[in-house]
Structure 1
Amino acid sequence: MPHADSLILTLVGGFVLAFVFGMLANRLKLSPLVGYLVAGIAVGPHTIGFVADGELAPQLAEVGVILLMFGVGLHFSLADLMKVRKIAVPGALFQIAAATAMGWGLGRLMGMTDLEATLMGFALSVASTVVLLRALEERKQVKGQIGRLAMGWLIVEDLVIVLALVILPLLIIQPGEALNGAELAKSIGWTLFKVAGFTGVMLVVGARLLPWLLVRIAHTRSRELFTLGVLAIALGIAWIAYWLFHSFALGAFLAGLVLNSSPLGHNAAERSLPLRDAFAVLFFVSVGMLFDPTILVREPLAVLGVLGIVIVGKSLAALAITTAFKLDRATSLTVAAALAQIGEFSFILAAVSVQLGGMTQGTHDLILAAALLSISLNPFVFALIDRMGARPRPPLKGSPEGVILAEEKAAAVNPATA
């Protein structure tokens, strides 16, 4: 492909095919993410026909990662998390630990190193917020206590991912750079200290400076300048975080988090949404380009193994923790089904692991295969739990979800006490 045309052809091929396959997936009652990934496979090097620029697509995808994490920060709600913290925080951490342990066990059986097996399990433990929101919207449960619990659960997972992306470069040691336990602990401690300092600066100084800056830009009454200002803040802070911690995700997330609390946070989210959607599509297309579909034929048992962890293992872990908190049957089953898939953050973790040399391309393909299949099968998982009794019922007095609902009703009656 001529270098002068590579950007245009990559954008045209990615967007057009993503639209076509996304529409087809939507008609088949599947998540459009499946269509975007298939579009990437179609323009990737493992299929015949047009092949997009394999060097340019990952760079465009990196912008997609920044805007995805910026969107997570913009929609992060500490208030919603605090309402369900007693269940969501321990539940998410237990489920992540259980899925990581299962992935490590499977990886070791397949001959992986401890590090690669752990990274695979960790990538399999994180559910997709996009897929979850779509499922809850179709069931009209986004604003109910079940939806809030599931979203709070994923908020905790998102926070864990942000920290993991910062620490990951320290864990994946290149040949000749071996660190002993004390040196590794010191490096991780120092990095976390810098992260805490950067976060503090963003939440104290950034929370004053960035909203003030947005207000000044808004006074120009220029939509273009306001949109550019939002993007400049997101990309600029992401670059600073990359310079400090080699993590675009942390800076983008904190930029969104700070703007979320500003008076113009809603406008910032609205202005950045079209570009976030566009580059998110390119991110999924680029992930599909890296996928070798022949792994479904070459290693069917391995694919079934990772898929089993995602759909069965994670669901059982979620059922165990929700049952331990004495949640009702409908809530437990719905949360379990909502987590029985993986998506964008699994791709990010896998891509970073491959880039750093901690994961092989074959393991990356296994994770992507599990994502494609689990997202496609997620509607059927919800249909199954409905037959098992996952129908919302009024919460019992004194139960955790009953307490949550009672607090919300009291706050609605007297907002001053909220």
Structure 2
Amino acid sequence: MHDATPLIATIVGGLVLAFIFGAIAHRLRLPVLAGYLVAGVVAGPFTPGYVADAHLAQELADLGVILLMFGVGLHFSLKDLLSVKAISIPGAAVQMAVATGLGMALGAFLGWPLAQGFVFGLALSVASTVVLLRAMEERRLLDSDRGRIAVGWLIVEDLAMVLALVLLPAIGGFLGGEQAGASASIGALLETVAWTIGKVTLFVALMLIVGKRAIPWVLQAVSASGSRELFRLAVLAMALGIAFGAAHLFDVSFELGAFFAGMMMGESKLSQRAAEETLPLRDAFAVLFFVSIGMLFNPHVLVEQPWVVLAACLIIIVGKSVAAFAIVRAFGRPPKTALTIATSLAQIGEFSFILAGLGVSLGLLSEQARDILLAAAIVSILINPLLFAVLDRWIARHEADVPDDGPSIAGHTVLVGYGRVGRRVLAELQAEGTRTLVIESDEDAVRELRGTSEVEFVVGNAAVAAVLDEANLAGARALIVAVSDPFEGGQVVRAARALRPDLPIVARAHSQECVAHLDGLGASNVIYGEQELAHSMFAAVRAPVDRAGH
């Protein structure tokens, strides 16, 4: 029975092991990604016991990447993409060139053939979509200037890798691969390049001209049916269908096809609902992505080639980061933006593995070099959340933007979150004359706050004690946590309760489970939106308003 159902065994085994090791990692205050990767190592062929189907796991992971890029596209307009082209295009090109050159230098030092060094360096140059976007989403940076630059940079890298994956078989003969032959001619190479660029251009044009109108229209028509199930199915069908069609008809990557599908769907007023419908599947398959990476990892390479793995890690974490930081600063962006982009790119992932697999099949990359690449990828993915934690602390310490009298403010209400709910809460507090200080990390919201001289604010992550100190939580009369994410809100509640055991804390929730979660972390009062709405509707029925004035 087990052999007859490898798909079910892979999904169940991957998710169960990911949960177990993810929970252990969280308990040990390590990134949960570490737990997912360890789960993959345990389920992989290089450790005893249960072995999952690595091929199926990779295909399931690809679904997660498709849905993730689709979700990003929903929140990313063409205007956003074009607004950062001046820095993303040259920045990604130069950074990839630097990383590829460093990889080739390492290969030359080790005596590798030039072709192997080139493929190895190219694989080191491109960041993981999943890792980068997860870090951005956790910090609510996707809609900020830093997030737009990072996503634009990522799209340029994806386009470059699409071209590389198509051209590599064609230039394999020139590079000394095993499949050299008649195709190894300048004419054939130029024809392949032209054909590839033409198909990508045709796909983009088709999406901008036809997709921009057709996709929102279909979404609106399905929504009018009133069936939530049909709406969810339509969203998934368009996301996966366009990604699949882009890959097979235009030789565009699944990820890029899904991104453009999401971007075109973002033109619809129902884009927010579409994003919410895809969120559970996106998260589940993203977990399988990290499990699949762990399954590829051969721990023996750490014993056999420790110094080479270390050198590859330094290229990824230090070489790429320094290059990205220098490029972003050269464009006049602030240090915070440069450090965020540099940290985001200090890892490699899915495209690197695809390129490495193709390189091995073409005889351009040895299996030992592939194992070194995988080991370096695992280490970089494990270290990346730690680098972001360091960056968060640096920003909280050096970039917190508080009014001159901020630390001396007392008897005030601290409001965390300046989103749709936060804005309404602030308006009510100001209407009754309550002095309020807002804590916000989103750059667009901060820009709006800066344009309002009446509002006092602190820029930073409210879950960080240093930021709460800047807001003088010790002298505050109350704390309102208006962020929508219950886990993010829970972190803020826990940090605030540790600093002020007696402080009244009000938080928002979307379900009874969230109410229990926030209560357990120390919230004094949790507002459950649907419950409050039900009370208001009931009160309106019990005591109707006489609009005629009688």
TM-score range, shorter chain: 0.7 to 0.9
Shift of 1:171: 1.8
Output one character per residue of 1:100-141: Cα deviation in whole Å (capped at 9) or x when no partner.
Answer: 211222233334443442332233223345544565677x67
CA–CA separation in structure 2 for the residues paired with 1:383 and 1:274? 25
- Kept after mapping to 1: 8 A contact 2:297/2:371: yes
CA 1:62–1:128 in structure 2 vs 1: closer, same or farther (change >3 Å)?
closer
- Kept after mapping to 2: 8 A contact 1:96/1:126: yes
Structure 1 stretches lacking a partner, 5+ long: 395-403, 414-418
Counterpart pick for 2:235 among 230, 235, 239: 230
Match of 1:142 in 2: 141
Shift of 1:331: 4.1
- Kept after mapping to 2: 8 A contact 1:165/1:249: no
- Aligned runs of 1:239-258 on 2, under 5 Å? 239-246=244-251, 247-258=253-264
- Kept after mapping to 1: 8 A contact 2:44/2:52: yes
Output one character per residue of 1:139-177: Cα deviation in whole Å (capped at 9) or x when no partner.
Answer: x67379xx6235413422223313422541332243435
Shift of 1:34: 2.6
- Kept after mapping to 1: 8 A contact 2:70/2:259: yes
Instruction: Please report the RMSD computed on the Cα atoms of aligned residues, expressed in angstroms.
Output: 3.4
Q: Greater RCO between the two (CA within 8 Å, min separation 6)?
A: 1
Structure 2 stretches lacking a partner, 5+ long: 173-178, 402-442, 453-550
Match of 2:161 in 1: 164
Counterpart pick for 1:271 among 267, 274, 277: 277
| 245-254 or 259-268, which deviates more | 245-254
Shift of 1:48: 0.4
Amino acid at match of 2:330: A
CA–CA separation in structure 2 for the residues paired with 1:328 and 1:390? 15
CA–CA separation in structure 2 for the residues paired with 1:241 and 1:143? 25
Match of 1:304 in 2: 310
Shift of 1:86: 4.0
| 347-356 or 381-390, which deviates more | 381-390
CA–CA separation in structure 1 for the residues paired with 2:357 and 2:161? 13
Match of 1:11 in 2: 11
Size of the alignment, in residue pairs? 402
- Kept after mapping to 1: 8 A contact 2:243/2:255: yes
CA–CA separation in structure 1 for the residues paired with 2:218 and 2:255? 22
Shift of 1:189: 0.8
| 116-125 or 290-299, which deviates more | 116-125
CA–CA separation in structure 2 for the residues paired with 1:337 and 1:24? 26
CA 1:357–1:137 in structure 2 vs 1: closer, same or farther (change >3 Å)?
same
| 208-217 or 153-162, which deviates more | 153-162
CA 1:366–1:271 in structure 2 vs 1: closer, same or farther (change >3 Å)?
same
Output one character per residue of 1:283-341: Cα deviation in whole Å (capped at 9) or x when no partner.
Answer: 22222212211111111011001101011111221232234334444444444333323
Counterpart pick for 2:296 among 290, 301, 320: 290
CA–CA separation in structure 2 for the residues paired with 1:176 and 1:162? 27
Match of 1:98 in 2: 98
Amino acid at match of 1:309: I
CA–CA separation in structure 1 for the residues paired with 2:155 and 2:231? 27
Output one character per residue of 1:27-63: Cα deviation in whole Å (capped at 9) or x when no partner.
Answer: 4444333322221111111000011123433332333
CA 1:183–1:156 in structure 2 vs 1: closer, same or farther (change >3 Å)?
same
CA 1:5–1:267 in structure 2 vs 1: closer, same or farther (change >3 Å)?
same
Match of 1:45 in 2: 45
Match of 1:180 in 2: 185
- Kept after mapping to 2: 8 A contact 1:207/1:262: no
- Aligned runs of 1:6-405 on 2, under 5 Å? 6-128=6-128, 130-132=130-132, 142=141, 148-149=145-146, 151-172=148-169, 173=172, 174-176=179-181, 178-246=183-251, 247-351=253-357, 353-354=359-360, 358-382=364-388, 391-392=398-399
CA–CA separation in structure 1 for the residues paired with 2:359 and 2:326? 30
Shift of 1:351: 4.7
Higher helix fraction (1 or 2): 1
Output one character per residue of 1:349-395: Cα deviation in whole Å (capped at 9) or x when no partner.
Answer: 4455556665444333323322222233335545666679972267x
Question: What is the aligned-residue identity percentage?
Answer: 49
TM-score by length of 1: 0.83
- Kept after mapping to 2: 8 A contact 1:315/1:340: yes
Match of 2:430 in 1: none
CA–CA separation in structure 2 for the residues paired with 1:388 and 1:315? 17
CA 1:53–1:299 in structure 2 vs 1: closer, same or farther (change >3 Å)?
same
CA 1:323–1:256 in structure 2 vs 1: closer, same or farther (change >3 Å)?
closer
CA–CA separation in structure 2 for the residues paired with 1:31 and 1:356? 36
| 251-260 or 349-358, which deviates more | 349-358
CA 1:77–1:353 in structure 2 vs 1: closer, same or farther (change >3 Å)?
farther
CA 1:355–1:70 in structure 2 vs 1: closer, same or farther (change >3 Å)?
farther
CA 1:202–1:352 in structure 2 vs 1: closer, same or farther (change >3 Å)?
farther
CA–CA separation in structure 2 for the residues paired with 1:227 and 1:355? 39
CA–CA separation in structure 2 for the residues paired with 1:201 and 1:214? 18
Amino acid at match of 1:271: E
Output one character per residue of 1:259-284: Cα deviation in whole Å (capped at 9) or x when no partner.
Answer: 12222222222211211222222222
- Kept after mapping to 2: 8 A contact 1:350/1:359: yes
Amino acid at match of 1:13: G
| 262-271 or 150-159, which deviates more | 150-159
**Larger-Rg structure:** 2
TM-score by length of 2: 0.65
